[in-house]
């Protein structure tokens, strides 16, 4: 059994629990076990292809599993796994204002006097 620490935004889907117990010999199996226990979590953790979403980071102790064996990282009895989301976002590439600014720049360059 592994203890999995749940970040605040996902606790709504684990009945408010900040940590849950998951089973599995490796991280991939343990994560599947998590969504078997709490099915409404699945859409937030996995994309339509069955892969973990980009923002999911998993730490075994102090180590990001990306620096270990990824999802195949073995888990031992009593391990603690921590799920930490990357918080990210941003505006669209082009806004009307940016487009206007680019057009003004272009006009300056093409209409400048000789």
Partner 1 sequence: MSLHGTTMTLIISLDLLAQVHAHGEDAYPEEGAGFLLGSEEGGQRTVTQLFLTGNAREDEARHNRYLVTPENYLKAETTADSLGLSLIGVFHSHPDHPNRPSEFDREWAQPFFSYVITSINEGKAFESRSWRLADDRSKFEEERIISR
5-43 b/e (C-beta count within 10 Å ≥ 16 → b): ebeeebeebbeeeeebebebebbbbbbbbbbeebeebee
C-beta of 8 vs 109, nearer to partner 1: 8
| CA–CA distance, 56 with 50 (Å, rounded to integer) | 13
Q: Does 70 bind partner 1 (CB under 8 A)?
A: no
Out of 67, 74, 84, 105, name the contact with partner 1 by CB under 8 A: 84
Q: Does 91 bind partner 1 (CB under 8 A)?
A: yes
Least distance from partner 1 to the Cβ atom of residue 7, Å: 7
- Name residues contacting partner 1, limited to 1-60 (CB under 8 A): 7-13, 40, 43-44, 54-55, 57, 59
């Amino acid at each position: 059994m592994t203890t999995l620490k749940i970040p605040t935004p996902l606790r709504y889907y684990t009945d408010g629990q900040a940590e849950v117990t998951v089973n599995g010999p490796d991280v991939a199996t343990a994560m599947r076990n998590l969504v078997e226990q709490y099915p409404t979590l699945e859409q937030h953790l996995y994309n339509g292809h069955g892969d973990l979403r980009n923002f999911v980071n998993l730490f075994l102790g102090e180590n990001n599993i990306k620096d270990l064996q990824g999802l195949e990282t073995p888990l031992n009895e009593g391990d603690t796994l921590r799920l930490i989301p990357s918080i990210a976002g941003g505006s669209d590439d082009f806004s009307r204002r940016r487009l206007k600014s680019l057009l003004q720049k272009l006009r300056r360059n093409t209409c400048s006097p000789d």
